[in-house]
Structure 1
């Protein structure tokens, strides 16, 4: 390329970046609002009862209920017949599908999103054997005690238990299905937003309907938004005027407390009350907007409806795509999450190192900088497992390359990191630099692998490298080609300890409409971007993870972090909440954002500790580490223009406080890994809202400043500067124990807790046993053979139980039975360990030499004598001394703890220890 031309292009790229500069903050006018999108504006304008659809010709076909669904236009003219299919799956799942009966005139079919539903889902179908039809209503079996009621005219679907309605579809009559058709004479289908025109070649094709959650007190879910956990109404109140938007976008300095859509989209909502949790999922990757309707949201709703405040109505609107939805009947919060993840998949167990602490910024500038940061962690005795490199490590922002001046010896750099048991992550984004000398671009161009514009040319947009094109990841063959780029022979300078980060994969296009790809761009099979937009990042993430599976030892679990996500992402890898800001509001917002992701299937997630934009002061940074140590994904990250903020740079006492927070996470890694095992099998998240563990406690339903880590730990963050007293609610009717001191608190009460900068407000639930590894190490891999501490928190019945899961932390051998899974039970003064692995107790090649070297028992009061303070290790008939507090639990004295030191029982064996 001519040097002058290259220079000019470079300046143009810089101009584009400056125009999009994050420092300018969030600019709402750059993003489309509902009244600027005709499909949304029209749907919101419809009155209840507008839908005059009705069903007929009901029959059973292949075990599903099939019916003809006749809809009408708003002028009462027949709009053409649709086909309604209702399918039932085990565990109380109803699937609702609506399709055009006849092929559209253009031959275009609605795009059905592939690779989201789990393999084998159809094997779990319950074949509907018979239906009962009487008085315009068809009823059939869903689950024990549950029925589906299909009302013929007007068309409605209700799920009920006995006479109690649980969830309804179209009970407000807002169903609208714009069928694909030919353009009428003089009709203009184009739409313009700001300087961008969308050709809309297939015209209007929106779908909308209402879903009612009966007797619900709150609804949750539909990430990603920076909102409270319990979703607020968007119509019928003055607080929000916009619906919740699901449209994956690169949003600079997003607003806290806004329904505006961010980087990912999961169209799954849960409702909850004291007796029932239900859920609704719509498998559609087009732009979607969801209104939560306040009682009396429309003046034409009758008085009876206005007073039904315990029910929550919602309206779902999408620009295009299919109507393929699932209803989940619960009844518990965990049941609904299990049902949803049985459809879309559960979180894959991450490698052990990935659950530890990650150190990142944009950018560690060269190999010397990496070496310096790595050595400083050792100098200040702070553990970490992963150091990350952002885009500046590449040669001219060309992925799979290294800057030859700044990173001339990447393999040697990684080997030095690996020698300490640590790992490295590099960034690989979807924008491919349009440089004829760049081998990835050359191959993609020759093979026709790029997304096309509406004229059928390779789409050319602007991102960090300047002029860029975007791979068509909807095509499985292109995903396979991309996966091969991660091989050690292809990705020169990479090693087996190098893992990947997918950013900007919404996709982000600086000069595109709403800083993204045009809706009329074309993907594999002629699919428009409007139909696949929200799943593009999911497919890119999927292809990158497949690349790590293929390289070297294919038995290693991949680690690929993604910013964009969709339903099913949990099967691929972790996500984070994107480009947050170093302020107290964003620290506070991180909790409901992570909780919501967990409720919607993605258990491995976190927020940038310290905030991506801006410069946190020492107190904010310390509080963020104290909270972030309990995120499922624990990473510090910062923008290029921020001041350096590695943990030692703020001096004492802050260095020690941050070290203590990170140490706490490392001590709890066995507990977190066990929770990831649970998430992988049940879908239940690692980080949970309080109401998931206490579903009957109404005071927890809107609470999102506290959260549970598993069943055992309650965490209350501190979200304001200079706090000396903080309120904490401890639910339930059993005691809680302060995590650091062992102090006991009764459940079911609010407490005003004095706090200092050293305080971490964490409490262990009574009746639980939490495994820890307390020896200080500089990385998680160095803890493999370390002994365990078991913290036994007794309830009022003097009982407790817990689990521990261990495998090699790296491979898929656990799928062949190579793991240890223990159950601990304390009852009647005896602590026992037994296998959950199976009857043969075989570990199929995996073993652990680790011992239990300390057992801490909380909740035995002084008047509850334990005789001569001895314990019997029954498997070897050996008596050992027992100590009664005070003892150091974490960093405080537990006055009433009972401590059994050095019982020297193997963590992998069956054993019992009896207090004498």
Structure 2
């Protein structure tokens, strides 16, 4: 029986998001109407209907009651009124008695009105008439997500070291700064996997360059970190600086690799280095050329990269800047009232990422020319594909760390994403919790937020509360902006440093579990994080969005409010509370229902379902030290508990029977004088079992 219907409208621009063939239906659905230059999709919403999906967006897990847009946008101000962020993830799920899933395969702008203008309608405007729409047979929410994930290909699998704790800051301006950070982590006994290196390492913000004055021996610096099993992950931006004699610029001109303007010449705009051209990543030749450029960093020992500013972000072009300056000059000496004053300010505020830029940029794609607006959401996707293929070519067989800011479904096969330029706000911690389920739905498993917040000034309490959640996300990176308060985990009081030490060490204790869950989600086309509504048939859970599931058996209950010493939790069934620090574990069973949970800053807490167990290890300082560590099992069962454990060598793309572990571990407690909760030393029931109270 066919479980997926594909409806084709016009002649869609290929996105290569879908990798499995699906037969095209001969009849198109009645809820789609085609107009002269756009299409409208309309669906009815009952009072009970919830809508999930759309990946990286603001708002709640349930998307109802809000507007959204899919149009990759560089916007560092993630306020409540914003409708779009950096990703284009047009999969959504309408849940009533059953789940109906839809994927809109389209490279341009899509606008969603989900019960906002009319509470009873979901209205989608497609800014074009050529697209594919996939509809998935009604089923359980998880089953629908799995069917979708099967047709878009397996998610990117990072190296195991990518699951460690990383520090970052825009403003580490020299080798000395990085070494001081490394030394401070060591002196404070704080685990450190490595440092993400922002634009400061470049020579005048030029891609594939190093400032020799501030980073005189970059390769030596990389090796200094590697000796301690630590990694440097440098940034690469989309814009290539226009400068005679700069090899990347000269190669780009010679190879005709840059996006054109409407005059047929390489389009000029400005970002960090000033005037730049943008590689046309939609051309295979350009992807290969740019991918080869990563060899410059690979030859210096780099095995991971993060691509930024690839929506693409644009500060200004000369035409718009000239208009703004003229407006300012014309206003000089005038008596500006409230309207003319704000009008003048808006001219400058609206310079960044103006729509005119994307209408002007021309791409060569699949034998045709398109404005960037028509294929806008593919740009960051194909830049990331370029990086992935470059590392694959020049570092064969090895899994690199690839991270991107902009994304489109399909890019999930080539790299992960972070959630962009968030702020040190409690609301953004809560947003981070809500985003993880939506990102799992669309295949972006390797993801996470800038822990502590990128913009604004964090507090010791906010950083620690954020760490309590981020220790569970695949990407664990503390990153902040220049000019903000330094937020390395040792930058506050001695007490705060001690608290953060405990939390980061718990991350490494949980690593066998987190890595196993990630591998299973990749292998089985499952969600890594999911809303409670996907796991329980319980009306209460539809109102709860600050508790989410990690895998099938663990419920996360982070504290996301300021000055709260705990929180209320609702348990849909009897569950076991696990409270951990770097050395100790406490277990306690709670009955189904409402409970107040006291949650100290120096603990990591979560709930475990009945007849389940998870693997942990002793605390270590980096992922290399996790090798050959004995597993301890934490479980909650009366007779029997089991866990499917997956692991591999964490390095190579292809695993052998010797390096790939995929087995079910079962603990049979029959005949043991043991309560419902247990801690088990070793990997099977033949090893010693000890009661948690002894």
CA distance in 1, matches of 2:560, 2:280: 42
Report the CA distance between 1:759 and its aligned residue: 4.4
Residue 249 of structure 1 corresponds to 73
Aligned pair in 2 of structure 1 residues 526, 736: CA closer, same or farther (>3 Å)?
same
Partner of 2:545: 704
Q: 2:690 aligns with which of 873, 877, 883?
A: 883
Structure showing the higher helix proportion among its residues? 2
Distance 1:469 1:858, change over 3 A: farther
Match status 1:95 vs 2:6: yes
- Counterpart of 1:327 in structure 2 is 135
8 Å contact kept, 2:49–2:95? yes
CA contact (8 A) 1:608 1:635 kept: yes
Task: Decide which of 665, 686, 691 is 1:824's aligned counterpart.
Answer: 665
SS in 2 for 1:375: helix
> For the structure 1 residues 590 and 885, does the alpha-carbon distance in structure 2 shift closer, same or farther, using more than 3 Å as the test?
closer
Instruction: Please say if 1:279 is aligned against 2:85.
Output: no
Q: Return the alpha-carbon distance in structure 2 between the equivalents of residues 725 and 870 of structure 1.
A: 31
Residue of structure 2 equivalent to 1:719: 560
**Aligned: 1:691 with 2:528:** no
Distance 2:464 2:640 in 1: 36
Higher relative contact order (CA 8 A, sep 6+): 2
Displacement after TM superposition at 1:730 (Å): 1.6
Shift of 1:439: 0.4
Q: 1:762 matched to which residue of 2?
A: 606
Tell me what 1:42 maps to.
none
In structure 1, the residue matched to 2:339 is none
Matched, 1:540 2:383: yes
Question: Aligned ranges for residues 566-585 of structure 1 at < 5 Å?
Answer: 566-585=408-427
Matched residue, 1:522: 362
Which stretch shifts more, 640-649 or 515-524? Answer: 515-524
Answer whether contact 2:588 2:677 (CA < 8 A) is retained: no
Match of 1:262 among 75, 79, 85: 85
1:368/1:544 CA distance change after superposition, 3 Å: same
TM-score (norm 2): 0.88
Contact 1:249/1:514, CA 8 A, preserved across alignment: no
Distance 1:317 1:676 in 2: 35
1:566 to 1:702, Cα distance in 2 relative to 1, 3 A:
farther
Query: Is the CA contact (8 Å cut-off) linking 2:450 and 2:478 kept in structure 1?
Result: yes
SS where residue 518 of structure 1 aligns? helix
Whether the 8 Å contact between 2:516 and 2:646 is mirrored in structure 1 is yes
Q: How many residues align?
A: 651
Deviation at 1:331, TM superposition (A): 1.1
Q: 2:374 aligns with which of 500, 515, 531?
A: 531
1:412 corresponding residue in structure 2:
220
Q: Which residue number in structure 2 is paired with residue 783 of structure 1? A: 626
5 Å matches for 1:857-872?
859=676
Of 514, 520, 523, which aligns to 1:678? 520
Classify 1:536/1:767 alpha carbon distance in 2 versus 1 (closer, same or farther; 3 Å).
same
The offset of 1:231, in angstroms, is: 1.1
CA shift digits 1:126-152 (9 cap, x unpaired): x99xxxxxxxxx9xxxxxxxxxxx6xx
> In structure 2, what is the Cα distance between the partners aligned to 1:267 and 1:883?
49
| Counterpart among 159, 164, 169 of residue 361 in structure 1 | 169
**1:213, distance to aligned residue in structure 2 (A):** 6.4
Counterpart secondary structure, 1:556: coil
Match of 1:637 among 455, 479, 494: 479
Which region of structure 1 is more displaced relative to structure 2, 407-416 or 640-649?
A: 640-649
1:219 aligns with 2:51: yes
Residue in 2 that maps onto 1:229: 61
State the match for 2:320 in structure 1. Answer: none
Unaligned runs of 5+ in 2: 318-350
Kept in 2: contact 1:401–1:492 (CA 8 A): no
Judge conservation of contact 1:222–1:269 (CA < 8 Å) in 2: yes
Distance change in 2, residues 1:117/1:816 (3 Å): farther
What is the Cα deviation at residue 451 of structure 1? 0.6
- In the alignment, what sits opposite 1:115? 16
CA spacing shift, 1:476–1:460, aligned 2, 3 Å: same
Q: Does 1:291 align with 2:113?
A: yes
In 2, are the aligned partners of 1:626 and 1:661 still within 8 Å (CA)? yes
Report which of the two structures shows the higher radius of gyration computed on alpha carbons. Answer: 1
Q: Distance in 2 between matches of 1:322 and 1:535?
A: 16
Counterpart position of 2:328: none
Unaligned 5+ runs, structure 1: 1-89, 100-109, 129-137, 139-149, 151-155, 158-168, 179-204, 235-242, 299-308, 832-855, 862-868, 888-916
Determine if the alignment matches structure 1 residue 806 to structure 2 residue 647. Answer: yes
Summarize the Cα distance change of 1:484–1:340 in structure 2 as closer, same or farther, 3 Å threshold.
Answer: same
Aligned position for 1:739: 579
1:872 is displaced (CA, Å) by 13
Matching residue of 1:485: 293
Q: Superposition RMSD on alpha carbons, in Å? A: 2.7
